Amino acid sequence: MVLFLSNCGLQPELAKTAGLTEQGGGCGSSVGLNAGDTLELVLDGTPTTGYIWETDFVVPSAIKPVGNPDFKAASQRLGAGGSYTFRFQAVAEGQATLKLIYHRPFESQPAPLKTCEVTVVVR
Distance CA(122)–CA(36), nearest Å, equals 9
Residue type, 8: C
Residue range 3-122, CATH number:
2.60.40.2020
Query: Can you give the pTM of this predicted structure?
Result: 0.81
Q: Binning pLDDT at 50, 70 and 90, where does residue 117 land?
A: very high
The pLDDT tens digits of the residues spanning 16-68 come to 899 999 988 999 999 999 999 999 999 999 999 999 999 877 667 899 999 99
Evaluated on CA atoms 17, 89, 71, 103, the torsion sign reads positive
* Backbone torsions φ then ψ of 77, nearest 5 degrees: -65, 145
Domain boundaries, the chain: 3-122
Q: Binning pLDDT at 50, 70 and 90, where does residue 10 land?
A: very low
> Which pLDDT score is estimated for 26?
93
The pLDDT tens digits of the residues spanning 75-93 come to 999 888 999 999 999 999 9
49 three-state secondary structure: helix
